[in-house]
Amino acid sequence: MIDATTPNWKPLEMFLGDRACLAPDFMWMYRNGGFEYYKHRATRAYLILDSAGNPRSPSDDRRLAFRAVTGETLL
């Protein structure tokens, strides 16, 4: 069930870690099936995270997921 009523920023903050200052570059879109969906403001690409801040991507690698969404490197 899709829930688009209450934003949950904690998974994004956990995913970004020391670079949490980049959180404003994302929009929370909705929650579905235990995953939070965020959209990057510049690239319009989605970042899908579980409740622990782990990416839902083919590799489940934080650095690759960040680069795929932003085009930048997550240090």
N residues, the chain: 75
pTM score over 0.75 = yes
Q: Look at residue 4 and tell me whether its pLDDT is greater than 60.
A: yes
State residue 54's pLDDT score: 92
Q: What value does the mean pLDDT take over residues 20-25?
A: 92
Q: What is the dihedral sign for C-alpha 14, 56, 22, 11? A: negative
End-to-end CA distance of the chain: 34
Domain boundaries, given as residue ranges, for the chain: 2-70
